[in-house]
Amino acid sequence: MAVKVVIPTPLRQYTEKRESVEIPARTVGEALAALTAQYADLRKHLFSSDGTLRSFVNVYVNDEDIRFLQKEQTPVTEKDIISIVPSIAGGLPLRCVCS
């Protein structure tokens, strides 16, 4: 059984520019492990050196944040879509325009 994993634009350079990948898996953890086995350069962008998912990487199954489900043990089926959403920081500070 394969599950669809949606790759965000900033990480597509590590997945041969693919927008999504079909990965055989029964859990989110299995899907991420298979994804990073297939695209090794992607691993350092998703996982820290101790093997945990980086804090700024958000993972969703059908729009549900896995942190509020069963985390990486969240089960998936072929109808599910896993989305990887890296947090983005930055921007310009707001300035007061006073008259």
Does residue 97 belong to any structural domain of this protein? no
Over residues 72-96, the mean pLDDT reads: 81
Alpha carbons within 13 A on the beta-carbon side of 99: 0
Give the structural domain span for 72: 2-86
The arithmetic mean of pLDDT across residues 64-77, rounded, is 95
* Residue 95 within a domain: no
Q: Per the domain annotation, does 19 fall within a domain?
A: yes
State the CATH number of the domain containing residue 9.
Answer: 3.10.20.30
pLDDT at res. 72: 94
pLDDT of residue 62: 96
Count structural domains, the chain.
Answer: 1
56 lies in a domain? yes
- Nearest CA among 85, 91, 76 for reference residue 29: 76
At residue 14 the predicted structure's pLDDT band, cuts being 50, 70 and 90, is very high
Q: Is the pLDDT of residue 28 over 80?
A: yes
Residue-wise pLDDT for 41-50, tens only, equals 999 999 999 9
Q: Which residues 6+ apart lie within 8 Å of 27 measured at CB?
A: 72, 73, 74, 75, 76
